[in-house]
Amino acid sequence: MSLIQVKRTIRQGFINFWRNGWVSVATVLIMVLTLFMVGTLFFSNVVLTSALQQVESKLDVSVDFKLDAPEEDILALKTSLESFGEVGKVEYISRDEALERFRERYKDNALITQSLDEIGTNPLPASFNIKAKDPENYGTISSFLKNDSSFQIIDEIRENQPTIDAINSMISSARTSGLTSTIVLSIIAVLVAFNTIRLAIYTSRDEISIMRLVGASHSYIRAPFVVVGIIQGFLASIAAMVILWLPLWFNHDNVLLSFVPIFPFANGSSASESLGGPNLLNYYFSNFIFIFLLLLASGIILGSISSIIATRRYLKEHK
């Protein structure tokens, strides 16, 4: 296709877009909603991934030892754990240190401090807080402890693996829900754009007949309508970027996106306070080009697919 033909194609595409003004606007609005959901899904994934990382950083395996457990046996187990490949860090809290921490924590509670004084002995056990290199390894660490020869000095092992499994399941369900909503809206957008292009084709049916009579190829006839789809996707992506930016700009304290249906915060707490997530406004600007290209590509693909399907069907029906 020559440069002159390309210019004519683009010009005809803009003419077709403006000729069906309100229908084109309706199509762009539907595509904006779809791209908005794509952007929402993107930011939701950022927040959920950050939340999971924050939760994982707080997970550990806690081990309480029997009160009569010899300290040398406890330290020997600590050395054994530190040499275990899945273990990242082992914090040992002696009985005296546990008592000191307990007193400091409840120093303003006279009833508890008096009760400790009346007991006269230290009722708190020594313990380990064990961090794994990978959150998936906590079960392996627990099995290692249960099978170790020093297991008889252990009173209780508290695992947090069920917590991380539950959070993973919740996040997986949230992502699936968001993806399903996006797919449904994408189908609606394609159908609306399809009908818009069909209307544009019907309006230009005489021109198409003339082009076919003079031997124009199907690709040449189809090109202006594909341009219409690209224009719709381009405008929709710009509008979606603005709509995504607005809630972030109005919520300077980084409140989680109000349009994200996954983690609503009715009490108005910020995402950083509740989930330890990133500042989404800063994230938006630092990844502006990538997000815009993501929405632009999605919009152009939606518009182009609907245009190609509509023109192919029309040309097939009117051979």
Give the position of tokens 């252990």: 154
Q: Which of 14-18, 231-235, 246-250, 280-284 shows the highest mean pLDDT?
A: 231-235
SS3 state at 126 = coil
What are the C-alpha distances in Å from 34 to residues 24, 129, 291? 15, 47, 14
For residue 256, name the pLDDT band (cuts at 50, 70, 90): very low
Residue 194: pLDDT above 70?
yes
β-strand 127-132 against 61-65: which pairing, if any?
antiparallel
The more confidently predicted of residues 36 and 253 is 36
CATH code for residues 60-159: 3.30.70.3040
Q: How many residues does the chain have?
A: 319
The model's pTM: 0.63
Type and span of the H or E element at 90? strand 87-93
DSSP 145-198: HHHSGGGGGEEEEE--HHHHHHHHHHHHHHHHHHHHHHHHHHHHHHHHHHHHHH
CA distance 273 to 128: 28
Give the position of tokens 């927040």: 47
What are the boundaries of each domain within the chain?
3-56+165-317, 60-159
pLDDT of 142-187, one tens digit each? 888 888 777 788 888 887 666 667 766 776 777 787 778 778 877 8
**Average pLDDT estimate for 268-282:** 54
**Average pLDDT estimate for 41-65:** 79
pLDDT, position 193 = 73
